[in-house]
Structures are given as C-alpha cells and as structure tokens.
Amino acid sequence: MRDGTDAVQAVAMMYTDPVCGMSVDPDRAKATAQWQGVTYYFCCDGCRAKFNADPDGYLTGKGRETEDKQDHQEGGIYTCPMDPEVRQDRLGACPKCGMALERELTLLVTRTQYTCPMHPEIIRDDPGDCPICGIALEPVTVEFGEEKNP
C-alpha cells in the first residue's frame, strides 16, 4: 500500500519563462540562459533570444510591456511560437498551450526587372533593349511575399 509520498516526489518544480510567462519544467526546457548567477528556463529559443537582448527589461516587466505596445499598435497576425498553426488577429494567450502569442513577421522582398512597354512579355533581369523592337526596357519593381487574400 502506498502512503502518497511517491506522488509528492513526482511533482516537478516549475519555473516561469520571463518572456512569455509560460510555466516551464526545467528538465524539459527548450532553452536556458544565465543572468547574474541565476539560471532562467525558456519554452523556446525565441524567448531566450528576446531575454538575452534585454534581460533587465524582461525581469522588471518593461520588456514585455514595450513589446506588447508595439505589437498592438502595428496590428497584424499573431501566432504561437510552440503551435504555429494557431493564428489570431489580436494579442492574447494560445488556446492550446497558454503561451503569449507573438506578432507574425512577414518577409517582403523586392527586386527590379525590366520590360518593354510595347512587348510586356519581354522581361529581363538587367536593363537593355527589347529584342523585338529595340526600345529601351523600363524598370518594374517586383514584390515577393505573402499577398493579402481579398
């Protein structure tokens, strides 16, 4: 017969990720960092990177406040670092794991191509003349990235 002490010993000490506020088991932490002789445990490498950039800010709460204000002002889509399929149009906690959602970054890349005003099917990566009519090709900026779904 058990006296219940096994259950007490099995409960692990949990730490709070100073960036997102998620509870983290130190034995299963995805990342750790040392700051002023103290070990901090993180749910993911992204939280550790943010902490390393401004440890005092996150330990006093100012780092999270600044980040929240920037995210709120800029709008956008918010996703969970642990469950990227979770997407919302506002800040909040992840409905799956409870972790704070982060603003999704969209990478937009542009480059210049050149086309003939008379023959738009002619597209080149470098300036020059149209091989059909000889007119100078005109620059066109091409964007690569996610387009908004109408």
Model pLDDT for residues 9-42, shown as the tens digit of each residue: 445 588 888 888 778 888 888 889 998 998 999 8
**pLDDT value, residue 63:** 59
d(CA 130, CA 117) in angstroms, rounded, equals 9
With a CB cutoff of 8 Å and minimum separation 6, the contacts of 17 are 23, 24, 40, 41, 42, 43, 47, 99
pTM of the model: 0.41
Q: Is 137 exposed, middle or buried (0-12, 13-18, 19+ CB in 10 A)?
A: buried
Would you state the pLDDT for residue 145? 55
Tell which wins on pLDDT, 8 or 113.
113
Residues 53-81: tens digit of each pLDDT:
888 888 877 655 555 444 444 467 888 88
- Residue 88 phi/psi, 5° resolution? -135, 160
- Percent of the chain surpassing pLDDT 90: 20
Output Rg (C-alpha) for the chain, integer angstroms.
Answer: 25
Rounded distance between C-alpha atoms, residue 110 and residue 91, angstroms: 29
3-state class of 134 per DSSP? coil
Q: Which residue has the higher pLDDT, 84 or 4?
A: 84
